[in-house]
Amino acid sequence: MTLTIDHVTREFVSNVGEKVTALDDINLVIGDEEFICFLGPSGCGKTTLLRIIAGLDRATSGKAVHDDHEIREPDPKMAMIFQEYSLYPWRNVLENVVFGLELRGIAKDARIRDAEQYLDLVGLEGFARSYPYELSGGMRQRVAVARALAVEPSVLLMDEPFGALDAQTRNMMQKELLRIWDKTRKSIIFVTHSVDEAVYLADRIVVFTPRPGRIKEIIPIGLPRPRDRTSSEFASIRRYVLDLIDEKENPSKI
């Protein structure tokens, strides 16, 4: 799997008729099984780029290409997970997970078997008949992950999926996501505002400038997993990324 972002620019027209450039000439190649984090300030275009990759939005110029095919619409080889859990409250956990398989016309026995497999993978094997309101925030996000995995995507697109969780649950979900990624070896593109989260998760961090969003720097993270947040190596990388972001937000320091 290769995902190529080729000179992508995205412009909008504001309510008062002014042209707003959200993304400006983005170039990026993402390889098979990579874990990539998009990091930058609010409004820098991270989510816009993720939506272009997902086929939910179109670039004004340039293109996103997946396996030699230009992305012009949602790609069944990709699944997107949002910060909001977006579960159907009238469906139980199992029924939520099989939803995408239903849309694809998978036979009932097969989709239940697949859903149960992924509920086991995310640690929810005992909650198939529970409803979303009965689950914690972290458990609801696990359901969202299981639902995305059930359709067998090659790429997971994650838009601040842990942003609404408390710090302890967020750290736990980061560990769980890495465990799932290690087992499934999907490519993951993960949008976050958290430097700590990006350093903990990513193979590479793509740091964006404030709007118009450009790629400031791409930082490879060479630390072995599992990563120790208290180590001097982790702290050194985190400080470098923080300084990079501080340079963006305070041009006088550049």
**Distance between CA 145 and CA 149 in Å, rounded?**
6
Instruction: Indicate the SS3 state at residue 122.
Output: coil
pLDDT at 1: 66
Q: Consecutive sets of 10 residues in the chain, 254 residues long: mean pLDDT of each?
A: 93 88 97 96 93 96 94 92 85 95 91 94 94 94 93 94 90 94 95 97 97 96 96 97 77 42
Q: Assign a CATH topology to domain 76-191.
A: Rossmann fold (3.40.50)
**Distance between CA 91 and CA 98 in Å, rounded?**
10
Query: How far apart are the two ends of the chain, measured CA to CA in Å?
Result: 37
**Residues 80-107: pLDDT tens digits?**
998 776 899 999 999 999 998 998 899 9
pLDDT at 85: 66
DSSP single-letter state for residue 8 = E
**Distance between CA 50 and CA 53 in Å, rounded?**
5
Do the domains spanning 1-31+49-72 and 76-191 agree at the CATH topology level? yes
Alpha-helical regions (H) of 14-136: 46-54, 93-97, 99-103, 108-121
Write the CB contacts of 46 (distance below 8 Å, at least 6 apart in sequence).
38, 39, 40, 191, 208, 213
pLDDT at 114: 93
pLDDT at 45: 94
**Distance between CA 121 and CA 180 in Å, rounded?**
7
Q: Assign a CATH topology to domain 1-31+49-72.
A: Rossmann fold (3.40.50)
pTM: 0.92
Strand partners, 191: 38, 159
Q: Where are the domains of the chain?
A: 1-31+49-72, 76-191, 195-254
Q: Which two tokens stand for residue 99?
A: 């939803």
pLDDT at 86: 81
